Protein backbone atom coordinates (compact mmCIF):
# COMPACT_ATOMS: atom_id res chain seq x y z
CA UNK A 1 0.00 0.00 0.00
CA UNK A 2 1.10 3.59 -0.62
CA UNK A 3 0.75 5.57 2.62
CA UNK A 4 0.97 9.35 3.05
CA UNK A 5 1.59 9.81 6.79
CA UNK A 6 1.16 13.30 8.31
CA UNK A 7 2.73 14.40 11.59
CA UNK A 8 1.00 15.94 14.61
CA UNK A 9 1.21 19.50 15.88
CA UNK A 10 4.53 18.53 17.49
CA UNK A 11 6.07 18.34 14.00
CA UNK A 12 7.96 15.57 12.23
CA UNK A 13 9.32 13.90 15.36
CA UNK A 14 11.23 10.61 15.70
CA UNK A 15 8.00 8.77 16.55
CA UNK A 16 6.54 9.63 13.13
CA UNK A 17 9.67 8.39 11.38
CA UNK A 18 9.60 5.22 13.53
CA UNK A 19 5.94 4.65 12.60
CA UNK A 20 6.81 5.06 8.91
CA UNK A 21 9.67 2.57 9.31
CA UNK A 22 7.29 0.13 10.98
CA UNK A 23 4.88 0.43 8.05
CA UNK A 24 7.74 0.03 5.55
CA UNK A 25 8.93 -3.10 7.35
CA UNK A 26 5.43 -4.50 6.79
CA UNK A 27 5.83 -3.93 3.05
CA UNK A 28 4.20 -0.52 2.56
CA UNK A 29 5.62 2.48 0.74
CA UNK A 30 5.39 5.48 3.08
CA UNK A 31 5.95 9.21 2.72
CA UNK A 32 6.20 11.56 5.73
CA UNK A 33 5.97 15.15 4.50
CA UNK A 34 7.25 17.83 6.86
CA UNK A 35 4.46 20.40 6.90
CA UNK A 36 6.35 22.50 9.47
CA UNK A 37 9.53 22.73 7.35
CA UNK A 38 11.86 21.34 9.99
CA UNK A 39 10.26 22.82 13.10
CA UNK A 40 9.37 20.52 16.00
CA UNK A 41 7.92 21.39 19.38
CA UNK A 42 8.16 20.11 22.94
CA UNK A 43 4.63 21.05 23.97
CA UNK A 44 1.25 20.86 22.28
CA UNK A 45 0.73 24.57 23.06
CA UNK A 46 3.87 25.57 21.14
CA UNK A 47 2.87 23.40 18.21
CA UNK A 48 -0.67 24.75 18.16
CA UNK A 49 0.62 28.34 18.23
CA UNK A 50 2.87 27.60 15.25
CA UNK A 51 0.02 25.82 13.48
CA UNK A 52 -2.19 28.89 13.92
CA UNK A 53 0.63 31.13 12.70
CA UNK A 54 0.90 29.10 9.48
CA UNK A 55 -2.86 28.81 9.12
CA UNK A 56 -5.08 25.90 8.13
CA UNK A 57 -5.19 26.86 4.44
CA UNK A 58 -1.39 26.93 4.14
CA UNK A 59 -1.05 23.59 5.95
CA UNK A 60 -3.61 22.00 3.62
CA UNK A 61 -1.83 23.50 0.62
CA UNK A 62 1.47 21.99 1.79
CA UNK A 63 -0.23 18.63 2.34
CA UNK A 64 -1.87 18.64 -1.10
CA UNK A 65 1.44 19.51 -2.75
CA UNK A 66 3.15 16.68 -0.85
CA UNK A 67 0.50 14.13 -1.84
CA UNK A 68 -0.08 15.24 -5.44
CA UNK A 69 2.88 13.40 -7.03
CA UNK A 70 1.64 10.10 -5.56
CA UNK A 71 -2.16 10.41 -5.58
CA UNK A 72 -2.54 8.64 -8.95
CA UNK A 73 -1.22 5.50 -7.23
CA UNK A 74 -4.20 5.44 -4.85
CA UNK A 75 -3.00 6.58 -1.46
CA UNK A 76 -3.95 5.58 2.02
CA UNK A 77 -3.97 8.86 3.92
CA UNK A 78 -2.86 8.59 7.52
CA UNK A 79 -1.87 10.93 10.32
CA UNK A 80 -1.37 11.66 13.98
CA UNK A 81 -3.77 14.12 15.66
CA UNK A 82 -3.46 17.32 13.55
CA UNK A 83 -2.03 15.11 10.81
CA UNK A 84 -5.10 12.88 11.04
CA UNK A 85 -7.28 15.93 10.51
CA UNK A 86 -5.27 16.83 7.41
CA UNK A 87 -5.30 13.21 6.17
CA UNK A 88 -9.08 13.08 6.55
CA UNK A 89 -9.56 16.28 4.55
CA UNK A 90 -7.35 15.02 1.73
CA UNK A 91 -8.86 11.52 1.66
CA UNK A 92 -12.40 12.86 1.42
CA UNK A 93 -11.35 15.02 -1.52
CA UNK A 94 -9.36 12.38 -3.42
CA UNK A 95 -11.51 9.99 -5.45
CA UNK A 96 -8.52 7.65 -5.83
CA UNK A 97 -7.95 7.35 -2.05
CA UNK A 98 -7.68 3.71 -1.00
CA UNK A 99 -8.17 4.26 2.72
CA UNK A 100 -7.90 6.55 5.72
CA UNK A 101 -6.01 5.68 8.91
CA UNK A 102 -6.60 8.17 11.71
CA UNK A 103 -4.44 8.09 14.83
CA UNK A 104 -5.57 10.35 17.66
CA UNK A 105 -7.64 12.78 15.61
CA UNK A 106 -10.49 13.63 13.29
CA UNK A 107 -11.74 16.75 11.53
CA UNK A 108 -14.90 18.51 10.44
CA UNK A 109 -16.68 16.92 7.50
CA UNK A 110 -18.12 19.03 4.71
CA UNK A 111 -21.86 18.56 4.15
CA UNK A 112 -21.10 17.76 0.52
CA UNK A 113 -18.50 15.08 1.33
CA UNK A 114 -19.17 11.85 -0.51
CA UNK A 115 -17.05 8.72 -0.85
CA UNK A 116 -17.73 5.27 -2.18
CA UNK A 117 -17.30 3.00 0.85
CA UNK A 118 -13.87 4.47 1.70
CA UNK A 119 -12.31 2.25 4.40
CA UNK A 120 -11.65 4.37 7.50
CA UNK A 121 -10.05 3.31 10.74
CA UNK A 122 -9.78 5.58 13.80
CA UNK A 123 -7.67 4.90 16.90
CA UNK A 124 -8.26 7.27 19.81
CA UNK A 125 -7.83 7.45 23.58
CA UNK A 126 -10.81 7.12 25.89
CA UNK A 127 -11.35 9.72 27.18
CA UNK A 128 -9.56 12.19 24.94
CA UNK A 129 -9.75 15.93 25.63
CA UNK A 130 -9.46 16.71 21.90
CA UNK A 131 -11.86 13.99 20.70
CA UNK A 132 -14.82 14.01 23.09
CA UNK A 133 -17.49 11.30 23.09
CA UNK A 134 -20.13 13.68 21.69
CA UNK A 135 -17.79 14.85 18.93
CA UNK A 136 -16.85 11.28 17.99
CA UNK A 137 -20.48 10.18 17.86
CA UNK A 138 -21.37 13.03 15.52
CA UNK A 139 -18.20 12.47 13.46
CA UNK A 140 -18.99 8.76 13.06
CA UNK A 141 -22.52 9.46 11.84
CA UNK A 142 -21.31 12.12 9.40
CA UNK A 143 -18.63 9.81 8.01
CA UNK A 144 -21.18 7.03 7.53
CA UNK A 145 -23.55 9.50 5.82
CA UNK A 146 -20.69 10.50 3.49
CA UNK A 147 -20.38 6.83 2.49
CA UNK A 148 -17.31 5.77 4.49
CA UNK A 149 -16.90 2.29 5.97
CA UNK A 150 -15.78 3.29 9.49
CA UNK A 151 -14.13 1.35 12.33
CA UNK A 152 -13.40 3.08 15.65
CA UNK A 153 -11.02 1.74 18.28
CA UNK A 154 -10.89 3.34 21.75
CA UNK A 155 -8.11 2.84 24.29
CA UNK A 156 -9.22 3.38 27.87
CA UNK A 157 -6.81 5.30 30.06
CA UNK A 158 -4.34 6.13 27.27
CA UNK A 159 -3.17 9.72 26.72
CA UNK A 160 -4.04 11.68 23.57
CA UNK A 161 -0.85 10.88 21.58
CA UNK A 162 -0.30 7.50 23.22
CA UNK A 163 1.68 6.02 20.31
CA UNK A 164 4.59 8.48 20.76
CA UNK A 165 7.11 6.93 23.20
CA UNK A 166 8.79 10.31 23.78
CA UNK A 167 5.67 11.99 25.16
CA UNK A 168 4.01 11.73 28.60
CA UNK A 169 0.84 10.43 26.85
CA UNK A 170 2.62 7.24 25.80
CA UNK A 171 0.91 3.95 26.59
CA UNK A 172 2.98 1.01 25.30
CA UNK A 173 0.15 -1.52 25.51
CA UNK A 174 -2.34 0.70 23.68
CA UNK A 175 0.30 1.61 21.10
CA UNK A 176 1.10 -2.03 20.32
CA UNK A 177 -2.60 -2.87 20.07
CA UNK A 178 -3.09 0.08 17.71
CA UNK A 179 -0.25 -0.96 15.40
CA UNK A 180 -1.42 -4.55 15.29
CA UNK A 181 -4.92 -3.52 14.20
CA UNK A 182 -3.68 -0.75 11.89
CA UNK A 183 -1.29 -3.09 10.07
CA UNK A 184 -4.14 -5.56 9.59
CA UNK A 185 -6.26 -2.73 8.20
CA UNK A 186 -3.57 -1.73 5.69
CA UNK A 187 -3.08 -5.36 4.65
CA UNK A 188 -6.81 -5.66 3.98
CA UNK A 189 -6.90 -2.79 1.48
Cα–Cα distance for residue pair 1/167, rounded to 1 Å: 28
What pLDDT digit, counting tens, does each position of 122-153 carry?
Answer: 999 999 999 999 999 999 999 999 999 999 99
Yes or no: say if 148 and 117 are a contact pair by the CB < 8 Å rule.
Answer: yes
Percent of the chain with pLDDT over 90: 98
What pLDDT digit, counting tens, does each position of 64-104 carry?
Answer: 999 999 999 999 999 999 999 999 999 999 999 999 999 99
Average pLDDT estimate for 10-39: 97
**pLDDT given at position 111:** 87
Global pTM value? 0.96
Helices (H) and strands (E) in the chain, counts: 6, 6
Amino acid sequence: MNVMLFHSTYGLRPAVRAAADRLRAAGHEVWTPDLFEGRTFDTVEEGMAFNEEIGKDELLKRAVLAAAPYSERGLVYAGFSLGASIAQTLALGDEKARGLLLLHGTSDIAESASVDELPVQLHVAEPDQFETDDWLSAWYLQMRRAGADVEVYRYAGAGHLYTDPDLPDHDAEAAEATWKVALGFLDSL
